Amino acid sequence: MRIIRTKNYEDMSRKAAAIIAAQVIHKPDCVLGLATGGTPVGTYKNLVAWYNAGDLDFAEVKTVNLDEYRNLPREHQESYWSFMHRNLFDHVNIPADKINLPNGNNQDAEAECAAYDAVIASLGGVDLQLLGIGHDGHIGFNEPSDAFDLGTHCVDLTDETIEANKRFFNSKDEVPRQAYTMGTGTIMNARKVLMIVSGKDKAEIVKKAFFGPVTPQVPASILQMHPNFVLVADEDALSLV
């Protein structure tokens, strides 16, 4: 595990974007695993700016997103499909047919999750997986549980996650209760994992996840065992370690 300490959110975003840019430059046809949430917005902004400046080309890049809400129309502005288009895909030249997210509207959860794992396998796995972390230690929507889930699966969101995500919706009632998410096994299979964390409110979970025991009760803690894991976190997020 490598920790890169940054001054603040902007510094974290630039450094994370630089790591992703390096991946795209080294391997133009790489598979990027992408994440949603508040944290990666600044990272994507930098990638868009460097694309616009002619420094980055995504023409051969393929993407797989970590997760998607279940039963939220794709066009809903808070679907992760919409989030990704608004923050990245609409602004760079990743071909539309190279963009992959779980289909949250496929009612057959088992079929959808198996199909998503097959897509990831057909791409040859993920070269670089970007991650945020939830206050409960979740990665993707892998919530605290008694065992690490391996492949893509359907999850019931915890109350803490619903509470955290209600800021994006009109009310808590509108937050979907379920999601399809890559499993911790899929994430651990990525050749490189890049986690970004910012803010004092994440300091406690950063300490627990990366300076405490590896346990499925803190899903992110498994990353301590990843051979190529980089944590880019600002001073506030690292203030307890």
* Three-state secondary structure call for residue 109: helix
Backbone angles phi, psi at 56, to 5 degrees: -135, 140
33 binds ligand PGA per the rule CB under 6 A: no
Active site residues: 67, 136, 138, 143
Minimum distance, C-beta of residue 39 to ligand PGA, in the bound complex (Å): 3
23 touches ligand PGA (CB under 6 A): no
Closest to 192 (Cα-Cα) out of 105, 126, 132, 241: 126
Q: To the nearest 10°, the Cα dihedral for 67, 199, 16, 14? A: 130
Residue 41 vs 115, nearer CB to ligand PGA: 41
For position 104 contacting ligand PGA by CB under 6 A, the verdict is no
Q: Tell me: does residue 216 bind ligand PGA (CB under 6 A).
A: no
- Taking CB under 6 A as the criterion, the residue among 56, 61, 72, 133 binding ligand PGA is 133
Residue partners of 173: CB distance under 8 A and separation at least 6 = none
51: enclosing H helix or E strand: helix 41-52
x/- mask, ligand PGA, residues 154-193, rule CB under 6 A, reads: ----------------------------------------
Tokens of 167: 């800021």
39 contributes a contact to ligand PGA by CB under 6 A: yes
Interface with ligand PGA, residue 132, by CB under 6 A: yes
User: Cα–Cα distance between 216 and 226 in angstroms, integer?
Assistant: 15
**Which residues form the interface with ligand PGA (CB under 6 A)?**
37-39, 132-134
